[in-house]
Amino acid sequence: MNITIGVADSSHLKFSNEICNMIEQASNIRGTGIAKREPDYIGAKISEGKAVIAMQNQNVVGFCYIESWEGQKFVANSGLIVHPDFRKTGLARDIKSAIFDLSVKKFPNAKLFGITTSLAVMKINSELGYKPVTFTELTTDDTFWKGCESCVNHDILIRTKRSMCLCTGMVCDPSSLQKINQKSTQKLLWTDFKKFVSERKLRIQLKANASPFLNKFYRASSSVLPIGDLIKNS
Ligand SMILES: CC(C)(COP(=O)(O)OP(=O)(O)OC[C@H]1O[C@@H](n2cnc3c(N)ncnc32)[C@H](O)[C@@H]1OP(=O)(O)O)[C@@H](O)C(=O)NCCC(=O)NCCS
């Protein structure tokens, strides 16, 4: 397919609008409403050398950028997007791997983290060495959590006082990580992750049976994101 993946530079600034449109369209389809980005913001990330872009000839086909929080203690790889025509070919995996390496290079002392409902992203993160965590392990930076305000599920985050939501939180501490290259190790990490999610579903179910408040939450989460079923089928 002749796709090149690399750190975006000033020659890619002209794609800022298109990248925003791709992200917004994907967000509308997923129905989360969380992902609106402004072209100036994407442009700033490109100018700061904090973005990875995938190009086919003169067309942008994928993108992701770095954000840092709490004085660079935490780093998130955000705005991951792959053009619909190029999905399920391993492109997101390659982009995430490139932005992971760039993040470690630029912020060697930071923990990498993310919150997501995307099974593909959970899978890729697991392979990179991310572990699922409760939200208490993530950044406390209010600016990060402000980004959730446009999400349709934001009321759940508020009700649970930022302790949980429909997204799964994942963290990777590169300083305690041997680079995971072997397929067999990656598969093991994914198996561990699937076990965690099944157990979490069971824990939520048990709590929901015991509490009317959580019962409401559980019903919301299981109707919006039947993640256990998704994972069973993957
Ligand atoms: C999520 C997204 C980036 C994945 O891109 P992609 O290039 O198709 O992903 P890859 O081909 O690298 O797939 C990586 C793994 O995830 C799996 N995967 C991909 N899309 C999936 C989906 N929709 N559901 C379940 N698994 C999926 C792939 O099968 C692959 O696993 P495998 O190698 O074991 O088969 C792409 O679908 C996208 O841009 N979606 C809209 C934006 C979005 O959701 N961004 C994430 C925000 S957190």
From the list 167, 231, 155, the residue with the least C-alpha distance to 199 is 231
CB count in 10 Å sphere of residue 132: 18
Same domain, 67 and 84: yes
For ligand 1, say whether the CB of 98 is within 6 Å of any of its atoms.
no
Residue 216 binned pLDDT confidence (cut-offs 50, 70, 90): low
Same domain, 120 and 91: no
pLDDT at 75 over 50: yes
Same domain, 66 and 150: no
Nearest residue (CA) to ligand 1, atom 46: 80
Nearest residue (CA) to ligand 1, atom 44: 118
For ligand 1, say whether the CB of 191 is within 6 Å of any of its atoms.
no
Which pLDDT does position 224 carry in this prediction? 41
Same domain, 117 and 99: no
183 against 109, higher pLDDT? 109
pLDDT at 110 over 50: yes
Which pLDDT does position 213 carry in this prediction? 61
CATH number of domain containing 51? 3.40.630.30
Rounded mean pLDDT, 159-173 = 93
Which pLDDT does position 230 carry in this prediction? 46
User: Of all residues in the chain, what percent carry a pLDDT higher than 70?
Assistant: 84
pTM over 0.95: no
For ligand 1, say whether the CB of 84 is within 6 Å of any of its atoms.
no
Separation of first and last alpha carbons in the chain: 26
Q: Which atom of ligand 1 is nearest to the CA of 86?
A: 7
For ligand 1, say whether the CB of 167 is within 6 Å of any of its atoms.
no
Cα dihedral across residues 1, 123, 230, 147: positive or negative: negative
Domain that holds residue 162: 110-200
CB 171 within 8 A of CB 112: yes
7 in a structural domain? yes
End of a domain among 88, 108, 128?
A: 108
Which pLDDT does position 185 carry in this prediction? 67
CB count in 10 Å sphere of residue 59: 13
Secondary structure class of 90 (helix, strand, coil): coil
Look at the chain and report how many structural domains it folds into: 2
For ligand 1, say whether the CB of 179 is within 6 Å of any of its atoms.
no
